[in-house]
Each structure stands twice: as structure tokens, then as C-alpha cells.
């Protein structure tokens, strides 16, 4: 059995989105996408000026957005009439399908806000489907815990802990892992998937081959081999994300991701002429 090794280490770029929310973007720049993943942002700060503007109403079509809160609270509202508040540890998995207009605004005026947003592509046959939400309350999330580590499962299964996202076309794995110093996390990855680790804090060593130092806020693209072994050099926290590639042509236009340029132009026209939300 071949070991999963480091293919590439990417330092996120500092950016901003929405109404000036400061963030670190790792997918969506280089690489532009990592099929089926289109974007990965770590957002937040302890300075309210970095996040208070939030993400005012904006449209999406043809993608899924997965928002995972680590600290703070966000209020959500959308064109389907849905409303909700996300607190630390919660996940909102939104399938935008044919189109949705939504806003995500901080439900706090001070303190630490931190979280992640992952964009997942949708195959052509699902891009114009009805929008759908899955809300995952942190208190309902299944977690594996032992003397070495804690593994929260958003999607996929680790030991007996299984995430609530099931029957998904890209067969996703999404774990939040906390690993104590000098301990190991071992997991069998599907060799059909593209897989990545996002190191939130600490320092880790992956696989058996020598690689550059990996410490704090780094994206690591992994080889397509089954046996993943991560050793913590210090107490560490990281996300493990994996998905089956869709292998379709991608056309991007801001918040819209379709298969052709003409479909992007149609999305823009629909938005401007008021027929975007079905």
C-alpha cells in the first residue's frame, strides 16, 4: 500500500470579499480549482473592522458552498425565505443549483470571528436543480475522540463517527482534526479522490518523504495514494477534505460556475432581468 505524500504546499494569499471581510484564499488562486473544489477561504479576525461588513446579498448558481464556523456567529438570509444563525462549530451546506440570492452577516459587533468557506462544483445535470440547504448543528455532529486526537466528521466516516452528508455525487470527506504533539493520524483515502489538508494551526509532517516545513495556515495538496499518515510536530489543528472529481468543463463568472460561457451569460442576464430565482 503506497503512502499518501505531499504534492504541493500552498501559502494562501491575503484577500477580501463581500463588504471588505478579510480572508486567506488558497483554492481559487493557485490552483484556480482542484476538481471538484473551486475555492477555499479562511475568514475572520479578532478585529471587528475586518469582518463587520459581512457578505451582503449576492447570487450564486451551479455550486455548493460549505460554511464551517470555528468562532463567532453569522446570520443567514436568502431568497427562498430561509433564515438562520450559525454559531461556533456549526456547518451550513448550501446547494445553490439554479440560483439563490443570500446574505451572511456577522451576528456580533466584537470578539473573534473565524471560519471556512469551501466551494464545490456541481455536475451539469445538477446545476439547474432546486436549491437545497443542510444545516448541521455542532451539538449533533459525530466526533471521534481518543488520547491522541479529536476528529469531527462533517462528511465521511472515521472509526464509528460518521458525518451527516450522505449520498453525495462527489462522495466527500470533510474532517476537522485536532492532533496532540508527537501523535499520528492515520486514514485510508479513496485513490479515486482529490484530497487536501488545510493546516489551521501547529506544525505537521505528512507521509514518509521529506518535504518543506508545514506550519500554520497552509494548504497541502496530496498524492492519490491510499495510506495517509499525519504526524504532529506540535499540537495541531487541520481540515482533511477529499472529493471525487467531476471531470467536466468549467466556466466561471464571479459567483456563477457553469459548463459554458453562454450559460454564464444566461445567469448574468437572469440576475439582471429578475428571473434568476426560480
113-145 per-position pLDDT tens digit: 899 999 999 999 999 999 988 899 998 899 999
Is 278 among the domain residues?
no
pLDDT digits (tens, 9 = 90+) for 66-111: 999 999 998 988 888 778 889 999 999 999 999 999 888 888 878 8
Residue 77 in domain: yes
Note whether residue 201 is domain-resident.
yes
- Look at residue 156 and tell me if it is in a domain: yes
Q: Is 156 left (phi over 0), alpha (psi -120 to 50) or beta?
A: left
Residue 20 pLDDT: 82
Helices within 116-163 (DSSP H only) = none
For the stretch 231-269, pLDDT in tens is: 999 999 999 999 999 999 999 998 999 999 999 999 999
Q: Is residue 165 part of a domain?
A: yes
1 belongs to a structural domain: no
State residue 21's pLDDT score: 85
Asked if residue 239 belongs to a domain, the reply is yes
pLDDT of 1 over the 80 cut: no
Per-residue pLDDT, 76? 87
pLDDT at site 44:
83
The rounded distance, in Å, linking the Cα atoms of 153 and 240 is 10
Sign, CA dihedral 179-181-186-192, equals positive
pLDDT 10s digits, 205-233: 999 999 999 999 999 999 998 899 999 99
Determine the structural domain holding residue 269 and report its residue range. 6-273
pLDDT digits (tens, 9 = 90+) for 36-61: 999 999 998 888 888 888 888 899 99
How many folded domains does the chain comprise? 1
pLDDT recorded at residue 45 = 84
pLDDT of 16 reads 86
Summarised one tens digit per residue, pLDDT across range 156-208 is 999 999 999 999 999 999 999 999 999 999 999 999 999 999 999 999 999 99
pLDDT of residue 81: 79
Residue with cell 490552483: 31
User: What CATH number is given to the structural domain containing 143?
Assistant: 2.60.120.10
The residue behind cell 450559525 is 86
Whether 257 contacts 268, CB under 8 Å: no
What pLDDT is attached to residue 96? 94
The rounded distance, in Å, linking the Cα atoms of 276 and 234 is 49
Amino acid at each position: 500500500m503506497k503512502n499518501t505524500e505531499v504534492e504541493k504546499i500552498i501559502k494562501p494569499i491575503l484577500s477580501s470579499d463581500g463588504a471588505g471581510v478579510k480572508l486567506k484564499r488558497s483554492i481559487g488562486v493557485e490552483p484556480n480549482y482542484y476538481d471538484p473544489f473551486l475555492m477555499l477561504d479562511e475568514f475572520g479576525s479578532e478585529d471587528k473592522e475586518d469582518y463587520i461588513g459581512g457578505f451582503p446579498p449576492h447570487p450564486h448558481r451551479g455550486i455548493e458552498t460549505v460554511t464551517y464556523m470555528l468562532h463567532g456567529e453569522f446570520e443567514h438570509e436568502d431568497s427562498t425565505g430561509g433564515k438562520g444563525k450559525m454559531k461556533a462549530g456549526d456547518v451550513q451546506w448550501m446547494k445553490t443549483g439554479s440560483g439563490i440570492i443570500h446574505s451572511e452577516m456577522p451576528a456580533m459587533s466584537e470578539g473573534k470571528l473565524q471560519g471556512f468557506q469551501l466551494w464545490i462544483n456541481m455536475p451539469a445535470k445538477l446545476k439547474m436543480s432546486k436549491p437545497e440547504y443542510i444545516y448541521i448543528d455542532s451539538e449533533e455532529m459525530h466526533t471521534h475522540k481518543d488520547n491522541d486526537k479529536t476528529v469531527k466528521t462533517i462528511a465521511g466516516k472515521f472509526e464509528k463517527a460518521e458525518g451527516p452528508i450522505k449520498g453525495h455525487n462527489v462522495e466527500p470527506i470533510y474532517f476537522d482534526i485536532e492532533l496532540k504533539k508527537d501523535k499520528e493520524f492515520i486514514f485510508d483515502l479513496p485513490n479515486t479522490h482529490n484530497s487536501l489538508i488545510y493546516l489551521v494551526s501547529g506544525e505537521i509532517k505528512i507521509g514518509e518523504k521529506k518535504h518543506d516545513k508545514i506550519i500554520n495556515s497552509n494548504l497541502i495538496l496530496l498524492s492519490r495514494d491510499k495510506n495517509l499518515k499525519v504526524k504532529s510536530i506540535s499540537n495541531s489543528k487541520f481540515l482533511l477534505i477529499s472529493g471525487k472529481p467531476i471531470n467536466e468543463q468549467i466556466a466561471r463568472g464571479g459567483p456563477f460556475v457553469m459548463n459554458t460561457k453562454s450559460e454564464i451569460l444566461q445567469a448574468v442576464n437572469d440576475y439582471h432581468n429578475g428571473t434568476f430565482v426560480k
